[in-house]
Amino acid sequence: MVRYVYDFTEGGREMTDLLGGKGANLAEMVRMGLPVPPGFTVTTQACQVYLATGEPPEDLAHQVAEHLAALEREAGRRLGQVDDPLLLSVRSGARFSMPGMMETILDIGLNDLSVLGLARTPGRERFAWDSYRRLVQMFGSTVMGVDGALFEDALALLKRERGAADDTRLDTCDLIRLVDVFKDLVLEHTGEEFPQDPVEQLERAVLAVSSSWNGERARIYRRREHIPDDLGTAVNIQAMVFGNYGSDSGSGVAFTRDPATGSPGVYGDYLPNAQGEDVVAGIRNTVPLQELEQLDPVSYNKLRGYLQQLESHYRDLCDIEFTIERGKLWMLQTRVGKRSAQAAFSIASQLADEALITPAEALGRVTGDGLARLMFPRFDTTAVGEPIAHGIPASPGAAVGAVVFDSAEAVRRAATGEKVILVRQETTPDDLPGMVAAQAVLTSRGGKTSHAAVVARGMGKVCVCGADGLTVDVRERQFTAQGVIVREGTLISVDGSLGAVHLGAAPLVDSAVMRYFETGGGLPGPGAQPVVRDVHRLLEQADTGRRLEVRANADTPEDAARARRFGAQGIGLCRTEHMFLGDRRGLVEAMILAGSDAEREKALAALLPLQREDFIGILAAMDGLPVTIRLLDPPLHEFLPDRTELAVRVAEYEALGKQPEARDVTLLAAVNRMHEENPMLGLRGVRLGLVVPGLVAMQVRAVAEAVVERKRIGGDPRAEIMVPLVDAVEELRLVRTEVERVLAEVSDASGIAVECPIGTMIELPRAALTAGRIAQDAQFFSFGTNDLTQTTWGFSRDDVEAAFFSAYLDKGIFQVSPFETIDREGVGRLVKMAVAEGRAARPDLKIGVCGEHGGDPDSVHFFHDAGLDYVSCSPFRVPVARLEAGRAALLEAAASDDK
């Protein structure tokens, strides 16, 4: 019989796949001897069965009953017993943390009788009825499907009748009445009584929480975080403890270090006389954790001890939830905490300094995405005026956008390309789509651990929360701050690093990390910002360990120079067609459309010196490093005049009975002759070089003469010539002969030997499939994964992302666009095949990649595993690729150590 239920005493943190993060970590805390209320976990496997078949696994109810009996024995109380009943919480907990995205049901075990038992204890009467009404509300909406707004409305009505500002003003009689109203709502809307049997409550709650894996919020979150849809959630059933018994009770959250900046020292929020849910929801403003020291020094000191114990045990920043019930401290959750990018770098460095982790492990704790975030600009503090509001800097960065007041409006405006800032009193999981769509989230309530803060930080979104000078009026669609009324649509600037909000669009300045790269990435001086020192240290670590070289895609001397400052070890792709846009487009047009050899030669002759100068500049900027120059690869339509425009111009003249311009007529005829329905699959790349006489020769001559020129003045130019869009080795062979002829000619004429390796791009499936043959004529391969993705999937790279990718993502066909992250299964398979066959034919074949994937963290790991020699990406991504290449080597080493 498959085991679907594990007691907290039976698990551990190595079991996250089966028990989910929450369950595994609760078990780990029990193992460490920390005070955890007893409980058990229903596995993710049970959830998978339930979601796949619509039925719970056969033996589940029996196994739950057995563990419940054990739990009751340990707690010394029974579920539903009339006197002092045991109450249970039922919470989701998946393999990956999905904060607030699934359902929770509390107070299971209360019914018409046990509520009386609970209420009999002196001082607990109001608390008992409040718990019961919460149960009917949560169970009614989550398990029985009653619209949650009906309960909210009934509650609001009663508060109005009583003139009560908040829930705490309702007395026991009010709550007793509310329970009746809620139960009636359940009956009216489901035709069923609220279940009185506590075991039935428990079983149904477990299934409802399992089903919430497929709720809308959870699905959106998974898509964003690239969490697979088939993992399912575990469900944790735990004895409830109460932080809302009075002033000797309370709930809080704590971090072992500051999750926004990484600064050492215990950090967190505490809410006296409240349940955990109230803290995270940001409903009442919390107090800093340090105040607990005054309120309850014993618990505070114990908590500090546990936090230290957890951080040493997990060897990382941990966050926890805790409750104090009448002076007794209980640990309700822990996990390795989410943190801002800055904090990730800082904490990794600190832990390495403290020798809690090795320098190599420190590298494993940071990510390329995080580094990219640190390179974003921030506001120019000298140029912005006084802020109109201040809040808690919950997630760093700078964002400018139009104010919106609800999630739907944020989504609507963002879909039109508008940048928006979502402003709420506090956010709830229902605001998730709006948070995804917004540049930043601004709330007037809640601390660094409120929903808004936790979720925004996880997404790398700017967030300022708890800006209590802000009065948000969603109905009027405006907020007020310092007497200023700010209406929906007004531009504001939100500084998530300082917690400031400014009216209007504040100017931005580069980040310190970006400045560090721009100035060459050398050893930071003593005055450097700590974040710069942390980045430097971890990048050095990455550079020492990585096997992949990192080059850049650059077509101008400026970009080449920047790439070099950012640590590029050469240029992996210089797109020569980019050199002919703007003013020079006419020359390419003349060359392509030339009516005679003489016309074409004239155009080519005009292009030659321009090309030579370009190459001299780039080779100078990359002196001593390889520069892969790709022969012209223009999708023709980008270089020809617009066919419709020309046709209209000619037709207009004709309609007026006038003679159109002769040039227009000739051009139109030529453009019609060359018109392509699918330019991306047309006369591009090597094909153009083979049909336009003199084109390859001109480009190669420009390269060779640039090399000669650089050598003459003592430079060390290392040009490589790359042939694009090759399908068949025969194409490459023809071009190669031409290239070698011109190189020899320039060498002879100048008396300076010009030796350029000649290689090809692999960007068509046929090239990958015949890589063994192609390698016989290529000294290097560079995977053009943009085209290889386009042609393997049959997706037009210019059209599909806007046309239907969001539907494909919704339907789970892929979790991320294959143009962003390499499709390992399909495109990746072609890459691996081409690497193997290419190297078999030519063992010293140098292999790289220069499609966009070269700068994508996940893809860098794939290219490392596939045995490539280098990745090439845009200059700004070079540091990201360096870091990820280092991490890939590290992971590989760790995996082989495990074997």
Q: Give me the least distance between CB of 859 and ligand PEP, in Å please.
A: 12
Which of the stretches 241-249, 495-503, 784-792, 812-820 binds ligand PEP when contact is defined by CB under 6 A? 784-792
Query: What does the alpha-carbon distance between residue 30 and residue 8 come to, in Å, rounded to a whole number?
Result: 7
Residues contacting residue 195 through CB under 8 Å, at least 6 positions apart: 139, 201, 204
Report the Cα 167 to chain-centroid distance in Å.
38
What are the DSSP calls for 589-602, one per residue? Answer: HHHHH-SSHHHHHH
Which of the stretches 180-188, 240-248, 338-346, 782-790 binds ligand PEP when contact is defined by CB under 6 A? 782-790
Which of the stretches 205-213, 278-286, 348-356, 778-786 binds ligand PEP when contact is defined by CB under 6 A? 778-786
Q: Is residue 573 part of the contact set for ligand PEP (CB under 6 A)?
A: yes
Residues 155, 109: contact at Cβ < 8 Å? no
Catalytic residue among 465, 574, 850, 873: 850
Q: Give me the least distance between CB of 784 and ligand PEP, in Å please.
A: 3
Which of the stretches 20-28, 291-299, 562-570, 783-791 binds ligand PEP when contact is defined by CB under 6 A? 783-791
Catalytic residue among 67, 390, 451, 864: 451
The reply to whether 226 belongs to the active site is no
Positions in 617-636 near ligand PEP (CB under 6 A):
633
At residue 146, what is the residue type? V
Q: Give me the least distance between CB of 577 and ligand PEP, in Å please.
A: 8
Query: What does the alpha-carbon distance between residue 713 and residue 700 come to, in Å, rounded to a whole number?
Result: 20
Question: Smaller CB distance to ligand PEP: residue 320 or 568?
Answer: 568
The reply to whether 465 belongs to the active site is no
Residues 680, 631: contact at Cβ < 8 Å? no
Q: Is residue 851 part of the contact set for ligand PEP (CB under 6 A)?
A: yes
Among 427, 785, 821, 874, the residue binding ligand PEP under the rule CB under 6 A is 785
Among 396, 466, 784, 886, the residue binding ligand PEP under the rule CB under 6 A is 784
Question: Smaller CB distance to ligand PEP: residue 426 or 763?
Answer: 763
Among 9, 480, 786, 817, the residue binding ligand PEP under the rule CB under 6 A is 786
Q: Give me the least distance between CB of 875 and ligand PEP, in Å please.
A: 15
Among 77, 315, 575, 585, the residue binding ligand PEP under the rule CB under 6 A is 575
Q: Give me the least distance between CB of 893 and ligand PEP, in Å please.
A: 30
Give the strand pairing for 318-325 and 478-481. unpaired
Q: Of these partners, ligand PEP, Mg ion, none, which one is at the site of residue 203 (CB under 5 to 8 Å by kind)?
A: none
Query: What does the alpha-carbon distance between residue 105 and residue 95 come to, in Å, rounded to a whole number?
Result: 19
Q: Of these partners, Mg ion, ligand PEP, none, which one is at the site of residue 871 (CB under 5 to 8 Å by kind)?
A: none
Residues 118, 128: contact at Cβ < 8 Å? yes
Residues 705, 664: contact at Cβ < 8 Å? no
Q: Is residue 787 part of the contact set for ligand PEP (CB under 6 A)?
A: yes
Residues 7, 23: contact at Cβ < 8 Å? no
Q: Of these partners, ligand PEP, Mg ion, none, which one is at the site of residue 575 (CB under 5 to 8 Å by kind)?
A: ligand PEP
Residues 43, 69: contact at Cβ < 8 Å? no
Q: Is residue 763 part of the contact set for Mg ion (CB under 5 A)?
A: yes
Question: Smaller CB distance to ligand PEP: residue 194 or 780?
Answer: 780
Q: 139: which 2 tokens?
A: 């169970």
Q: Smallest Cα–Cα separation from 767: which of 705, 837, 815? A: 837
Residues contacting residue 579 through CB under 8 Å, at least 6 positions apart: 555, 610, 611, 614
At residue 61, what is the residue type? A
Which of the stretches 98-106, 266-274, 415-423, 781-789 binds ligand PEP when contact is defined by CB under 6 A? 781-789
Integer CA distances (angstroms), 487 to 279, 407, 475, in order: 29, 16, 11
Beta strand ranges found along 4-124 (DSSP E): 5-7, 39-42, 88-94, 104-108
Q: Give me the least distance between CB of 542 and ligand PEP, in Å please.
A: 24
Which of the stretches 32-40, 141-149, 502-510, 785-793 binds Mg ion when contact is defined by CB under 5 A? 785-793
Among 115, 336, 351, 850, the residue binding ligand PEP under the rule CB under 6 A is 850
Integer CA distances (angstroms), 811 to 220, 648, 792, in order: 11, 43, 21
Q: 885: which 2 tokens?
A: 């290449």
Q: Give me the least distance between CB of 864 and Mg ion, in Å please.
A: 22
Beta bridge partners of 93: 234
Which of the stretches 242-250, 363-371, 516-524, 759-767 binds Mg ion when contact is defined by CB under 5 A? 759-767
Residue span 732-771 as binding mask against ligand PEP, x where in contact by CB under 6 A, dash where not: -------------------------------x--------
Query: What does the alpha-carbon distance between residue 253 and residue 276 come to, in Å, rounded to a whole number?
Result: 8
Give the end-to-end CA distance of the chain in Å, rounded to a whole number: 30
Query: What does the alpha-carbon distance between residue 534 and residue 110 come to, in Å, rounded to a whole number?
Result: 52
Residue span 307-346 as binding mask against ligand PEP, x where in contact by CB under 6 A, dash where not: ----------------------------------------
HSE-CB at 292 with a 13 A cutoff on CA atoms is: 31
Question: Smaller CB distance to Mg ion: residue 250 or 784?
Answer: 784
| Site residues (vs Mg ion, CB under 5 A) | 763, 784, 787
Residues acting as catalytic residues: 451, 850
Residues that bind ligand PEP (CB under 6 A): 573, 575, 633, 763, 784-787, 850-851
